[in-house]
Amino acid sequence: MTPRRWWIGIALVVLALLFFATFPRYEWRQIQGPYQPPYLVRIDRWTGRAEGGRVGQDGWRSYADAAAQAAKDAAWNRDHPVQSPPPQYDLTGMPR
C-alpha cells in the first residue's frame, strides 16, 4: 500500500464521519401528554419514514413491532389452548 492510497483512505474515513455528524439519520421527538412510558417518534431523515415506539432496556422497539409480536402470540395461543383443570365444585357449591 502506497502512502498516497493510505492518505486517500484516511480522508474517506474522515469525510464519512463528518457526513454522519452533519446529517444524522434519526431525529427523535417526544410527544407531550400523560403517556407512561413516554411516547417517542423516530423520524428517519434519509427515507422520511416516521414510527412511534419506546426505548427500553432492549433498545428501540416500535409499536408496529410490538403489535406484530402480539398478533403472533395470539395466533400461537389460539392454536395451542391451555387446558384448565376440571372444577372442584359443581354449581351448587357442593364438592364433587
C-alpha cell at 45: 431523515
| pTM of structure | 0.43
β-strand partners of 54: 61
pLDDT value of residue 10: 95
C-alpha cell at 59: 433498545
Domain annotation covers residue 70: yes
Domain annotation covers residue 6: no
d(CA 6, CA 14): 12
- Counted domains in the chain: 1
Domain annotation covers residue 90: no
Parallel/antiparallel/unpaired status of strands 50-56 and 39-44: antiparallel
Q: Which residues contact 23 (CB under 8 A, 6 or more apart)?
A: 45
Domain that holds residue 32: 25-77
pLDDT value of residue 8: 94
Q: Could you give the 3-state DSSP secondary structure of residue 42?
A: strand
How much of the chain, in percent, has pLDDT values that exceed 70? 75
